[in-house]
Amino acid sequence: MITLRLGAIFPHNEIGAAPEAIKTWATAVEDLGYHHIMAFDHVLGAGTRNRPGWRGYTSADAFHEIFILFGYLAAVTTSTELVTGVLVLPQRQTALVAKQAAEVDVLSKGRLRLGVGVGWNDVEYEALGQDFTTRGRRAEEQVEVLRALWATPEVTFEGRWHSIQDAGINPRPVRGSIPVWFGGHSEATLQRVGRLGDGWLPLVKPGPQAKDMLRRVHEAAQQAGRDPHTIGIEAKVSLSTGSMEDQLSFVDGWRELGATHVTVETHGMGLTLREHVALLQETAKTFQRHGDR
């Protein structure tokens, strides 16, 4: 049985703004043996007064700025991987993302994994001065620029959306690069994962649909001359729905499809800090017993 790397999702909306609470949660996660911490990314929440029927996060939902949060987590943890799940890449300036990500990687001694996606909230794109309609195509060029800036002291790049003339970031990542995983399950995303991604963050249940999506990822990888089995897969399981038996079945389903990571989600359950930690402790023990069978 494949040993999955187990992670925990940072409870943005419930943990509050106290640094002590964030430190307590993060160090508890590390002490419990979780391999990684995943955090979501939203810069702005939409006000609902003039948006009847709005679905999704709003201005009332709290989100810590992801790179600054990870800078803090890098200081209060020692071994836990830090994962953006996902950074809405096309609504951000690419060179600035390269700089911020490299800094987190340096401060954490090489513990950053960058999960990226194109997002769904046009309100954020508008406020940040970015084009919502070209976000998928821009994301591909962005990843190319990120990798160039991480790998080389000086970069010259001319693309459709980027122009860099003999410039670079310093410091650069510890490993000379940072793993880039793509989140989502649209056809365009599956093609990007296969051609460009170090991994995939799917948002579907294991089963025939997921198996077919994975087949398309592998085909895209082979067409790009890549070994599809080098592409990681990370499933996300919510502890707010179903029984523990259902959740273990979900994990086993993804394990059979070749998943390398699984992340458990407690945020959104209305728990206190103590309750979040207690549930993560119980879950870690249950998953370990299940994996050792």
pLDDT in tens, 196-255: 999 999 999 999 999 999 999 999 999 999 999 999 999 999 999 889 999 999 999 999
For residue 168, the domain's CATH number is: 3.20.20.30
**Segments forming the whole domain that contains residue 178:** 5-291
Give the model's pLDDT for residue 18: 97
The rounded distance, in Å, linking the Cα atoms of 84 and 88 is: 9
For 82-86, what is the mean pLDDT?
97
**Which one-letter amino acid corresponds to residue 101?**
A
Instruction: Tell me what pLDDT residue 290 has.
Output: 85
pLDDT average, residue stretch 88-94:
98
Distance CA 70, CA 80 (A): 11
Residue 3 pLDDT: 80
pTM for the full predicted model = 0.96
Closest CA to 114 of 103, 123, 122, 124: 103
pLDDT at 1 over 90: no
Per-residue pLDDT band at 2 (split at 50, 70, 90): low
pLDDT for 181-194, tens place per residue? 999 999 999 999 99
| Model pLDDT for residues 8-38, shown as the tens digit of each residue | 999 999 999 999 999 999 999 999 999 999 9
Which two three-digit tokens encode residue 93? 């300036």
CA 15 – CA 273 distance, rounded (Å): 6
Q: Which stretches does DSSP call E strand in 138-240?
A: 155-158, 163-167, 180-183, 199-201, 232-238
Total domain count for the chain? 1
